[in-house]
Each structure stands twice: as C-alpha cells, then as structure tokens.
Amino acid sequence: MDVLVQLLDATIRVSVPLLLACLAGLYSERSGVFDIGLEGKMLAGAFIGASAAAVSGSAWIGLLAAVGISVFFALVHGFASITHRGNQIVSGVAINFIAAGSTIILGQAWFRQGGRTPALSGDARFQAITLPGADAVKDVPVLGLLYSELISGHSILVYVAFLMVPFTWWVLFRTRFGLRLRAVGENPAAVDTAGISVTWLRYRAVICTGVLTGLAGAYLSVAQNAGFVKDMTAGKGFIALAALIFAKWKPVPAMFACLLFGFLDAASIRFQGMPWPVIGKVPVQLINALPFVLTVILLAGFIGKAIPPRAGGVPYVKER
C-alpha cells in the first residue's frame, strides 16, 4: 500500500510539468499554430524562473519572470508563424535551440556553477502545502491515507495545474473565445469572414501557451527542484506533445495521458532493474521510450485515430 501511494505521489509530481506543457500546446494547436517549441519555452522559463527566484529570494517573482520569458518566446513564435507566415515547425525548432544554448551560456556567465543556478530555499521556492485536515485524517485507513499523502502536501503549482484542466475545458467549450479559438484552428477563412481577426485570435492563443509553459518551467526549477540544472526539461516538452496527440487535443484526456506518461516515468525510476513477474527484467530504456512508441502507434491509427485541427500548421493568407 505504501509503495503504491508513493508511486502515485511520484506520478503526480512528474506529471505536472507534462500536464502544464500539454495544456499549453492545446491552446496553440487548437488555434492552428503547431508548436514543437514547448520544450524550449519550458526550459527558458525554468532557467529564468530559478534565476529570478535566486536573486530576489521570492518564488513568486521567479514565477512571474518564468512566465514573462516564455510569453516572449511564444510571441517570437507568433511573430514568425502568424505575422510572417513562416514555417511553424522550423520556428519551433529554432526556439528549442536558442533556449537550450542560451540557458547554459547565461547560466554559466551569471552564476558560474557549471550551468546551475544557486540552490533555492525558504521563500525562494514553492513549498509543499498541507491541506486542511490532512494531519487529522492521517490515521483513517485508505481514504485518510490517500488524502494526506496523495492529495495534500504538494506545492501550489500542482493544484494550479490540475485546476487548469477543468478551466481549459470551460474556456474551450463554454466561452465565446474558446469557440472562436477552435474555429480558427479548423477554418480560419470562416472566422475571418465573420469579422474576427485571425491574427489577434492566434496571438492570444500563443500567449496562453507562453503563460502555461512558463508555469511548467517554474514548477520544474522553483517547486519540484531547488534550482535549475542544464537541460533539465530533458524531452518533457516532446512527451507533452506526444500526450497532446494521445489525448486528441482535448483537455480532460490530456490530463489522463499526462498521468499515464508520468506513471511510466515514475515506475521506471521506482522499479529500475527489478525483475517483473512473467516478463522478467525490462530494460529501463524500453519504458522511457514507451510514450513515444505509443504515440507513433496512435498516430498511425492503430488505436483510435488522432486527427489534428484542420488548419494546423498552415499560415493564414487573408487575400489571394
């Protein structure tokens, strides 16, 4: 039981950056702007977030800075792919490289700790929150244990991430902005004909992406870990992208996809090198590759069919 609770607890912790990045991608891609630069924006957010938190001593300032830099990169992506109708994939690749290189160069130049930022402690880091009554119900079997160990005791960003799921659902499917956002990803010409600016709508979508990737980055370096280490996103942006496809660009399935991929990650760390019943020892690399393999299989239409927003990846030309 304890092992299971620990495993699920670890799953939640490693799922959060995936979930935030995945929801970030959801806004952009639903509006018809492909974004493979989630990784880069998250990395930049993690670095600037940890730097600002270390210098100012406040986790909140770190969070703001992280969101700021991620929104900046999101706007660069928007400038290239919306305003200048550039190739969205190329732009995303560029952002990933710029972020990967500059976080190392600036980190070394500013802090001289081999690309690390100074370790954060106290107010400079988001601390675990004990939910009301968590200690009181600790001894109640099952439910009490789950509440006190699994649900309570995370940093605020964890709760924000999971609240973003219903919020995103509400925005996308119950607001005017959401309706237009989905429309612009399917048929921008129709939206344009209705007198709504495709450009401004898509810019708002990439700004949402920037905000959420900033949160994801800040979570990595200011909440989950006490500081930035180089290349700390380690492909999470791409796993989030995989989860987004796996979830067929829908918020609630996105949460389950991220939890599934997070669980695989947590389990591969927990059970590293342990023999499994029946199949024997599974190489850890196989488990690491599983999200990518699953996504390929899904994309190929062997389990269900993932159909991307119809106007995704195509820059909108107003007049022909």
Partner 1 sequence: MSTPFAKLPAWADYGLIPVVNLLVAFAVAGLVVLLVGENPLRAAAILFDGAFGSGQNIAYTLFYATNFIFTGLAVAVAFHAGLFNIGGEGQAYISGLGVALVALSFDAFLPWWLTFPLAILGAAATGAAWAFIPAYLQAKRGSHIVITTIMFNFIAASAMVYLLVDVLKPAGSMAPETRTLLPGAQLPKLNWMLEALGMSVRSAPLNITFLLALALAFVVWALVWRTRLGYEIRTFGFSPKAARYAGIGETRIIIVTMMISGALAGMMALNPIMGDQHRMALDFVAGAGFVGIAVALMGRSHPAGIVPAAILFGMLYQGGAELAFEMPNISRDMIVIIQGLVILFAGALENMFRPTIQTIFASLSPRSVGLPAARGEGA
Residue 148 or 233 with smaller CB distance to partner 1: 233
- Shortest reach from residue 10's CB to partner 1, in Å: 20
Q: Which is nearer to partner 1, 6 or 108 (CB)?
A: 108
Nearer to partner 1, 145 or 299 (CB): 299
Length of the chain: 320
Instruction: Answer yes or no: are the C-beta atoms of 48 and 68 closer than 8 Å.
Output: yes
Supply the minimum distance, in Å, between the C-beta of residue 165 and partner 1. 23
Backbone angles phi, psi at 134, to 5 degrees: -65, -40
Kindly state the smallest distance separating residue 47's Cβ from partner 1, in Å: 12
Q: Own/partner pairs for 57-64, CB < 8 Å, 24+ apart?
A: 57/122, 57/123, 57/124, 58/123, 58/124, 59/120, 59/123, 59/124, 59/125, 59/126, 59/222, 59/223, 62/120, 62/124, 62/218, 62/221, 62/222, 63/126, 63/157, 63/214, 63/215, 63/218, 63/222
- Integer Cα distance of 268 and 233 in angstroms: 17
State in angstroms the smallest separation of the CB of 111 from partner 1.
12
> How far, in Å, CA of 35 to CA of 248, rounded?
15
Under the rule (CB under 8 A), what is the footprint of partner 1?
A: 34, 36, 76, 79-81, 84-91, 93-102, 104-106, 108-109, 235, 238, 241-242, 245, 283, 285-286, 288-289, 292-293, 295-296, 299-301, 308, 317, 320
Whose Cβ is closer to partner 1: residue 71's or residue 161's?
Answer: 71
Q: Between residues 118 and 153, which has the closer beta carbon with respect to partner 1?
A: 118
Least distance (Å) from partner 1 to the CB of residue 156?
Answer: 31
Closer residue to partner 1 in complex, CB, 146/314: 314
Query: Could you tell me the smallest distance in angstroms from the CB atom of residue 237 to partner 1?
Result: 10
DSSP character string of 197-227:
-HHHHHHHHHHHHHHHHHHHHHIIIIIISSS
